[in-house]
Structure 1
Amino acid sequence: MHRLFAELEPSLTVTEQNLANLVRYILRLNIFDVAEIKRLRCESVTSSDENATAEDAAPQIVEQPANVDAVVNTPVLVDSNDDGTVAQELELEHMGSTLEEAVVETRSTSLENRPRLPCIALSKRNRAVVRTLNPMLVTYLEASRDICEMDSIFDTALAVCRIIGAKVSTAGRATGQSSAIPAWRRKIEERIAKSRALIGRLICFRSGNNRPRIVRTVRMAFAGTNVSLSQPDITQKLTERIDDLKQRIAAWGKRIRRYTERSTCFNQNRLFQSDQKRLYESLERPMVS
């Protein structure tokens, strides 16, 4: 593969490792479907056989990238019929209306509340949609009166995501993080709140508060043990129970901090691999307690 690439593009200096990395990148993004990959493999095998058997096969290999580029750069609309003029006009009208809706929606929304657009795969269908919407973008750019109206590029990107069916987040760009509390942390915080309430009532009973609700709570705290509220060393038992609950609260608090640090490290490592810019922006943003 490296030898064929060197014959096709003698002006470019690419190592075998770089070429292998690019192949894995293309396969991971699913830029070409299975049929297209099989066709490209058959053409490469055929061209390599011709190079091995004939000396005049170089012009044929040089012509191959032009044919591939012509196929890729042709603005073919998806799901169009063979006779196709009416289908193309309907699809162009649909794309234009989608772009118009995106422009109206975006210009009436503040910058903080705009949705975060996902990264889309560089497939033939997505490229065809982008090439179709690019000429429509010129009209909105020429009609812009000031810098506030020159955000049509975001409008076009939003329209592309809606046409190809990509999932667009509606949470906005202000926070950058989800505000939902994990289930494990919510359960531990509920345990801490119940233990603190129990400590308060035990302290009240030790101070001489004998209201029925306090007494009932103390009896529930010593349920399953041989401790009676009328025994002489009840004050010592209450102190031991309070210390035990305080130690549990401290342990639960350390568990929350440990899990939070571990989750933060995991999310930062994953964000560093996918989007380093967002990681550095989150690190520079002041922390809110």
Structure 2
Amino acid sequence: MRSTLEEAILETRSTPLENRPRIPRIALNKRNRAVVRALKPMLVTYLDANRDLCETDSILCGAALAVCRTIGAKVSTAGRATSQSSAIPAWRRRIKERIAKARALIGRLICFRSGNNRPRIVRTVEMAYAEKLKERIDDLKQRIAAWGKGIRRYTERSTRFNQNRLFQSDQKKLYESLERPMARETGPAPNQADTVAFWRSLWSEPVNHSESPWMEVVVSQCVSMTPMDPVIITPDDVAEAVRRARTSSPVRDSMGCITTG
């Protein structure tokens, strides 16, 4: 057991924290308790000579790893998970497996209904079940739709929950995540002379338009209208509008949606 402990401690010392194996939870039976009690006196030598917190962590992790190896517990060697939130829930994986199996079964049922009598298809579909193929296919399609709807509801609810939690902790990060990057064309910038020539060809060249009769009617109706006063926007007006826009804080309505007030 001492050699196992020394090997485990050396292994944890040379392994980064994120790449260390995950220690499973072991049962507290008599055998496991006896192994832990026998290992405790061996740790005194390592802990007394240690003055570093990181080294203490390596010793304790190595001791736990040695206990698991002694009792034969399975230890994951893939390293620790870096993001627990990105892991797919087990129930969602099971539903996806059910959907995949149901789709495969639907495909075989359709093949059997169309006259495909290959042994693999016949083994899947019993001959006594041939009269209810249509009902069975419809039932499977409805189940797939229900399972998919459940996954969509969970995804939408999870998205709303994460957005609300992010809104409470970091509003700026939430708004940045809601922004969608616009598609931009990458290429050389246009030449200034070509740009001037392009717009000059549009605005400087005289063009004869054939106006419709309804435009004359509209012009005659607008003669009696009083023109609006010219609106002059000053830099102070722009600064005031920007200041008001910054002070409007987002709030959540009764449905949990984020709005700006």
- TM above 0.5, yes or no, is no
Could you tell me the TM-score, scaled by structure 2's length? 0.36
Which structure's residues are more often helix, by fraction? 1
**Which protein has the larger Cα radius of gyration, Structure 1 or Structure 2?**
2
Could you tell me the TM-score, scaled by structure 1's length? 0.32
